[in-house]
Every structure is written in C-alpha cells, then in structure tokens.
Structure 1
C-alpha cells in the first residue's frame, strides 16, 4: 500500500512539472561582474556562477566575453504595521538590484532590469538584539535569492 501511494505521489509531481532547482548554465564562457565596492550580491553571484562549473568569473572586464553590471543595489527598511498603542509591530525589508549585461564591445546584450525582493519581519521591543540578527539573516537570504534570479535571467540571454 505504501509503495502504491509513493508511486502515485511521484506521478503527480512529475505530471505537474515539478523538478528540483539545479545548476543553471550561462551562455558565456567568461563573465566579469562590475559593481560598487562591498556589494554583498557580488559574492553570491560569483559563488553561484562558479558552482555552475561552465563559466569563468574574471577579474578584468577586457578579458571577459560579457560583463554583468550591477548599476544599483540597495536594501531599505520601512515600517509595515503599527500596534494600537503606536509601537512598530512589523518592518518590511526591500532589496532592489538593477543590472544589465554588455558584451566585450560594450553593446547591450540585455537591457537594464530590476530584481525586487521583500520580506516582512515581525518586531518586538524586548527582542531587539535577536531581531537585528534576524534582519541580517533575511538580508543574506535576499542577496542569495536576487543572485539566483539574476543567474536565471542570464541563462536566457543571447550572446551576439
């Protein structure tokens, strides 16, 4: 009975198109990532691209087949909800990354695009230190998610 149930569940998963998120290949042999110093997403992008194993991340733009330019990346924090007594109950964290892809000649392969991610973070005055740690963790998660989305979009780019 358990085997039949397992087979039926697997059949449903296959029929709906479910598949595990695997590595994504980028249509470039080499890429350079251009961004302002200290942008956390650069580390995530490099790690994700290098883990794919097919594309080299180079330190110089003149040697790269394509350049991924991070034109803007910022995280903001806004009050999302307030209690009846006027205290903050939740914050919204928003991470927004603008990027474009250019080839070795400086021609645009993919125009400027924006990835926007948001997370809602409950807040309690009594747990300020814990909430700071949670905020750092959510920000780190957003950097990873944004890098993954950019890589997914990069995989669809057509080299010229």
Structure 2
C-alpha cells in the first residue's frame, strides 16, 4: 500500500522547516589556546573527569607548571556535601541531599582574568533506608560521579569560551 501523496509532501515540508531553523548538535568545544594548567587537588573527582574529557577532545595539552600554560584554571573550592534533609519522628534518616560544588577562576599566567570567580553547583535528593545502606551507598557514589561529570562538562564549555 502506497502512502498518500499529501503525507509525503507534509513530511518533506517538516524536514525542510527543521533543517532551516539552525538547529545543530553541540559537538566538541573548540579552544583558542593550546596549553592549559588545571589547579585541582590530586583526589578531585571533577578534576579527573575534566582531564578525561580533555584527553578525549585532544585539542589542549595539559601542563604541570602554570608558567608553561596559556590559561591557568585556579580552583577556589571543590566540595561534595551530604546532609539529611528528611528525618522521621524517631530520628531515622529518610532522605539525603547531595550537593557537588566547584568555585573557580581562569586567568593567564601573567594574571589577566579570563573568567571571574564563578561557582557551579548541582544538588540532588536521594531516598535512604537503613536496611539497604550498602545499596544506597553505591547509588550515592553514582549520583555524585554523574553530577561531577556534568559540572566538568559545564566547565569545559566555559574554558572553551575563554580567549587569552
């Protein structure tokens, strides 16, 4: 059975309209510089994720010394907070609020500010039960890693927009 001619024309018109709207996928960020120094502490989850994302892109070389870089990322605060947000009358925790926070700034080695002090933060609530504490611990670690990856992606886009 052949599709009606009107349906084909409508589908073609919709495809032309969507193509003309300017939509395109974000794609990999383009950097205007070649060498970057990251000021993360050695055990930082966001730092590890950002290094991984930069290695995949392959456009920027990570250097150890700030003086060898075109752009220096200074990490002012990198924290994961966890607190009970809902408790029962008996004092048992029923919900935990997780928050991943990063404060940073970017500058040239000479000290010219490219990105002023900025804070990126994500939070998420998680139900909690003492009977499934081990499973909830794994769930919490996964949620924290996901939020850290999201913050690293946001930071990557901001670093790509900085022009020394």
Q: Structure 2 length as normaliser, TM-score?
A: 0.82
Given candidates 10, 18, 35, the residue that maps to 1:30 is 35
Which ranges of structure 1 fall in alignment gaps of 5 or more residues?
none
State whether residues 25 and 52 of structure 1, in contact with CA within 8 Å, keep that contact through their aligned partners in structure 2. Answer: no
State whether residues 41 and 146 of structure 1, in contact with CA within 8 Å, keep that contact through their aligned partners in structure 2. Answer: yes
State whether residues 33 and 163 of structure 2, in contact with CA within 8 Å, keep that contact through their aligned partners in structure 1. Answer: no
State whether residues 35 and 71 of structure 1, in contact with CA within 8 Å, keep that contact through their aligned partners in structure 2. Answer: no
- Which is worse superposed, 54-63 or 20-29? 20-29
Which ranges of structure 2 fall in alignment gaps of 5 or more residues?
none
> Is 1:48–2:72 an aligned residue pair?
no
Given candidates 116, 120, 125, the residue that maps to 2:125 is 120
> Is 1:99–2:137 an aligned residue pair?
no
Q: Structure 1 length as normaliser, TM-score?
A: 0.84
RMSD of Structure 2 on Structure 1 (CA): 2.6
Aligned length: 158
- Deviation, 1:7, is 6.6
CA distance in 2, matches of 1:118, 1:8: 42
Greater radius of gyration (CA): 2
CA distance in 1, matches of 2:21, 2:83: 38
| 1:109-155, Cα deviation, whole Å (9 max, x unpaired) | 11110000111111112100000111111111111111001111112
